[in-house]
Structure 1
Amino acid sequence: MKYIEPIILRHVDRCPTDKTVNFPGQCADQIFLFLCATSRLSLRKTSDLDSPMAAEDHNGGRSALIFLGTGCSSAVPNAMCLIQPSNPCDVCPQALSTPPDQNPNYRCNTSLLIDYCPSDGKHSYILIDVGKTFREQVIRWFTRYKIPRIDSIILTHEHADAVLGLDDIRAVQPYSPTNDIDPTPIYLTQYAMESIAEKFSYLVKKKVEEGKELRRVAQLDWRIIEENCETSFVASGLQFIPLPVMHGEDYVCLGYLFGERCRIAYISDVSRFPASTEHVISKDGAGQLDLLILDTLYKTGSHNVHLCLPQTLEAVKRICPKQALLIGMTHQFDHHKDNKFLTEWSESFHPMFMGGSRCNILEAHLIVAVTEELNLELSLSLLQHKPKEDDQANCNDPLIKPTVVLVDDLLNALKQFSLCTESLGCVQSSILQSIHGNMIIWFGAWLKRSCENKDSLTASLLSMLTNMSSMAILLEHSFFDAYAGESRDGSCAAKFCRGDTVSMSTAVVNGGDMNNVSYACLAMFKSGFQKMEGVAAGVCLKCQTKPRIASLFVWKSLQCCYSWILNSDQRKAMLPYLESVSIEIKYDIFRVVYVSGDNDLKFQFFYPPHQMLEQQLEEKAKKKGISCKALP
């Protein structure tokens, strides 16, 4: 069996530049579980991380898994939610709020592309399932990752979401008006073969009947495989073991096990595992999987032909893989919110795993993205650091205590705006959170008068501030106009004037609100951006109902805060768009967060006048016995 190396997760969906994400050091019994989105997983030996091969780009020297789709048969967004807007779900409007390649809640039919690169460096491309959305997947992902062809096709079963894209295989084959090309091998069961011969008779027939016109169609070499775990087959040099599972009690579907030192199981449609199949893939059976990719249809309840989240979690506990990615999800799953739930679940259940195993569950948009940037966009970057108890126990020093309080308040405030901070325009939550984290460390070092890591932390901040400035430049050039707030005739559906106010008394949950927030974001950088008649205005200046941060101004305050900490040259180079911003909104994010946790400010404007803020901080400091000099 060919060797596929241990997995390193790579973001591939939200932004054009790939980002490699390494798992924390894991023991043999440690498990990582994610909700998966369209994305790419790079596979390589851990021992080769510093080799020239490991340094090559996404087309060189390493194997990879590319999740072309992680949604159910109806895909996400669900058409019914869009044509019956009177009763929309929360997820489908989000799935349309930003471009699909930036959106972890946009999911095509489940399909996996294996970019197999053995030691000779030659790439082979093996496709598992060719569903209804195959053409869109080719246009979106083959072009981005420069996939030139398909060398082999493997089918799990013959349902529409696995085979209705077969006609479009010709698009990834060499052009020949006489069909005189080498056919692509396609592996499937006898039952699937008989069904497909009826659906696509023109793809199965070998010869053109006399008197019939020759038509260009996909050229396929049909190869029958067995429905059992004991008979393996080889596709494009890589060995696969069929994993028969029940897809409803009257139907057998196949999953596949591949790799040797790194064992990967792909099971996209399952309602129950036969004992023989579960033995092959379980830790207590034939050996622990390095990666389990598993069907998960609904968040709650059960289904007659698919696993739902409760059954999936039970299966993961039984099988006990090192890592697990969830696919086949409906619009019930919200990438960001459900990854947080899964993280909490893994923390509460990890003692149940033998040997202290731990299961971390995240939904990847850049990961579940395994998002359409691993978004499973694999979102390890979304894990939040919490202060240890012993950190708080040693907070008698007035220079340290405010830092701990600020961390708590900041994280708690951001949690309440997960939807907005992760979906707002071109602003990515991972960048916001990374900047927050680095800034907290930087600020703590500053309070302690420590210069030990100041230079490296400042360099890190400058790099991220460059990203923030790049976003501002994109907005300045109307980058987001093409995606939000555009009517069918191409005109803008909503515009705002700079300085307009919107109350964030409720979270943004539908497409219309999402467009409004996006345009408000754009309005901050475009002085000529005018409001249309009859349109409610909005930039999130305040929150009158609950003490929480409006995401738009978290971003703005971050920029303002950093602009005054950095020197004038750095400020001019990194944040040129802040010079025109009125002084009234240039508040330090740490002051805002520090004050915002107070219940007695519940009905106050979120960004009070500067003098009022200083007075409140001084009063708070006196009550708690903290030196005013310790406050920012």
Structure 2
Amino acid sequence: MTVTFLGTGTSSGVPMIGCTCAVCRSLDHRDHRLRVSVHVAVGGRSLVIDSGPDFRQQMLRARVTHLDGLLFTHEHKDHTAGLDDIRAFNFRQQQDMPVYAEPRVLQQLQQEFAYIFAEHKYPGVPRVVLHPIERDDAPFDVIGLPVQPLRAMHHRLPVLGFRIGGFCYLTDANHIGPETRAQLRDADVIVLNALRREEHISHFTLAQAIAVLEEAAPKRAYLTHISHQLGRHAEVEAELPPWIRLAYDGLKVEV
């Protein structure tokens, strides 16, 4: 399995519009973060988790030419706004795009992208097939690949992460219950959000994320959904144990 970090930034991205802090002015490419997303290539399948507003740019940069499915963690715009750009894959592959999410999230997509689901569609709009994730306690099938949902809370909003084989991906969370913590055990790689150092209403801080990872004890871990408030990549990573790294845009990880 090859995991490519398409974006590792928070909802505003890094650099943030109008900001002149040291991180936003950094010349280190690892401090330039598009909105959070990953591409997973496994068993001949090509999947993306979350298509935010940078989706087109991410697909071009990562040279993704085929996509078998799109999974959504939740309905916030920094995770869904790029849905329209799956049209390119419709055209290339001559088939509808499978989209997997909880029913609540699919309903939100139908409202925000109403033209996609209109009875009489405008020529050239994206074509999708909606697959509701009805349960969070059992794997669901993505074109023959078992994917285990990972329940978490984003303040008061239930969100999903996903486990595919030994790879676990959880972003936009600040609480993980005992059931999910058990599902993280024995993972080869865990990706977890770590927004900043200071307390936040809906995201893990750096210290909180490290504590979760130390309990889960994967072989390797990567932090994502990072804001400019966390600090420069090189400086923050120097503080971490060797098995925990900061993810950055374009990073490829073999699992």
Secondary structure of the residue aligned to 1:67 is strand
Query: What's the secondary structure of 2:175's corresponding residue?
Result: coil
Aligned with 1:139 (options 54, 57, 60): 60
Deviation string 1:246-288 (CA, Å, 9 cap, x unpaired) is 010x2100001111xxx11100111100221112213xxxxx2
Aligned residue runs from structure 1 range 39-54, under 5 A: none
Query: Deviation per CA, 1:292-314, whole angstroms, max 9, x where unpaired?
Result: 1001111x121111101011111
For the residues of structure 2 that align with 1:232 and 1:187, how far apart are their CA atoms? 12
CA distance in structure 2 between the aligned counterparts of 1:153 and 1:139, rounded to whole angstroms:
16
Letter in 2 for 1:246: M
TM-score normalised to structure 1 length: 0.39
- The offset of 1:227, in angstroms, is 4.1
Cα deviations across residues 480-532 of structure 1 (Å, max 9, x unaligned)? xxxxxxxxxxxxxxxxxxxxxxxxxxxxxxxxxxxxxxxxxxxxxxxxxxxxx
When you count helix as a share of all residues, which structure comes out higher? 1
Distance 1:361 1:225, change over 3 A: closer
Alignment equivalent of 2:184, drawn from 278, 281, 285: 281
Amino acid in the other structure paired with 1:115: A
Q: How far apart are residue 173 of structure 1 and its match? A: 2.4
Superposition deviation, residue 328 in structure 1: 0.3
Secondary structure at 1:92's aligned position in 2? coil
1:226, distance to aligned residue in structure 2 (A): 2.1
TM-score under structure 2 length normalisation: 0.92
**Which residue number corresponds to residue 15 of structure 2?**
77
What's the CA shift for 1:373? 4.6
- Corresponding residue of 1:170: 87
Deviations 1:575-602 (A, max 9, x none): xxxxxxxxxxxxxxxxxxxxxxxxxxxx
Structure index of larger Rg: 1
Counterpart secondary structure, 2:105: helix
Q: Does 1:155 align with 2:72?
A: yes
- The answer to whether the 8 Å contact 2:4/2:251 transfers is no
Alignment of structure 1 residues 443-462 onto 2, 5 Å: none
Which residue of structure 2 aligns with residue 219 of structure 1? 127
Aligned to 1:265: 168
CA distance in 2, matches of 1:132, 1:105: 18
Question: For the Cα contact (< 8 Å) 1:246–1:273, is it kept in 2?
Answer: yes
Residue 372 of structure 1: how far off its partner (Å): 2.9
Where does residue 255 of structure 1 map in the other structure?
161
Matched pairs, number: 253
1:116 to 28, 42, 46: 42
Amino acid at match of 1:360: W
SS, match of residue 170 in structure 1: helix
Select which of 300, 311, 322 maps to 2:219. Answer: 322
| Pairing partner for 2:51 from 130, 134, 155 | 130
The secondary structure found in structure 2 opposite 1:115 is strand
Q: How do 1:566-585 residues align onto structure 2 when only pairs under 5 Å count?
A: none
**In 2, Cα distance between the equivalents of 1:372 and 1:336?**
16
Contact kept? 1:125, 1:150, Cα under 8 Å: yes
Query: d(CA) in 2 for partners of 1:187 and 1:174?
Result: 20
> Tell me, what secondary structure is at the counterpart of 1:193?
helix
Alpha-carbon distance between aligned partners in 2 of 1:220 and 1:361, rounded to the nearest angstrom = 37
Could you tell me whether the CA contact under 8 Å between 2:160 and 2:170 is conserved in 1? yes
8 Å contact kept, 1:340–1:362: no
CA distance in 1, matches of 2:52, 2:251: 21
1:208 is aligned to 120
The match for 1:91 among 8, 23, 31 is 23
Task: Tell me the secondary structure at the aligned position of residue 91 of structure 1.
Answer: coil
- For 1:182-193, list aligned pairs within 5 A: 182-193=95-106
> Contact (CA 8 Å) 1:109, 1:132: kept in 2 or not?
yes
Q: Secondary structure at the match of 2:91?
A: coil
What does residue range 223-622 of structure 1 map to in structure 2 within 5 Å? 223-229=131-137, 231-248=138-155, 250-259=156-165, 263-282=166-185, 288-298=186-196, 300-332=197-229, 333-342=231-240, 346=241, 360-363=243-246, 368-369=247-248, 371-373=249-251
What is aligned with 1:66?
Answer: 4
Q: Using CA pairs below 8 Å that are at least 6 residues apart, which structure has the higher relative contact order?
A: 2
C-alpha deviations, 1:90-142, integer Å up to 9, x for none? Answer: 11111xx37xxxx111111111111123xxxxx22111100011111122222
Q: Is the 8 A contact 1:149 1:173 kept in 2?
A: no
What's the C-alpha RMSD, in Å, of the aligned pairs? 2.0
Deviations 1:46-85 (A, max 9, x none): xxxxxxxxxxxxxxxxx3111111111111111130xxxx
Change (3 A) 1:183 1:267: same
- What SS class does the counterpart of residue 194 from structure 1 fall into? helix
* 1:292 aligned partner, one-letter code: I
- How far apart are the structure 1 equivalents of 2:67 and 2:15? 28
Q: Which amino acid aligns with 2:201?
A: N
SS at match of 1:126: strand
Q: Name stretches of at least 5 consecutive residues in structure 2 with no aligned partner.
A: none
Counterpart for residue 385 of structure 1: none
- The reply to whether residue 198 of structure 1 matches residue 119 of structure 2 is no
Conservation of the 8 A alpha-carbon contact between 1:266 and 1:293: yes
User: Partner of 2:110: helix, strand, or coil?
Assistant: helix
Counterpart-to-counterpart distance in 1, 2:143 and 2:48: 11
Q: Answer 1 or 2: which has greater strand percent.
A: 2
Shift, 1:153, TM fit: 0.7
For residues 321 and 66 of structure 1, the distance between their equivalents in structure 2, rounded to whole angstroms, comes to 19
Q: 1:323 & 1:208 partners in 2: Cα distance?
A: 49
Paired letter, 2:41: D
Q: Distance in 1 between matches of 2:216 and 2:16?
A: 31
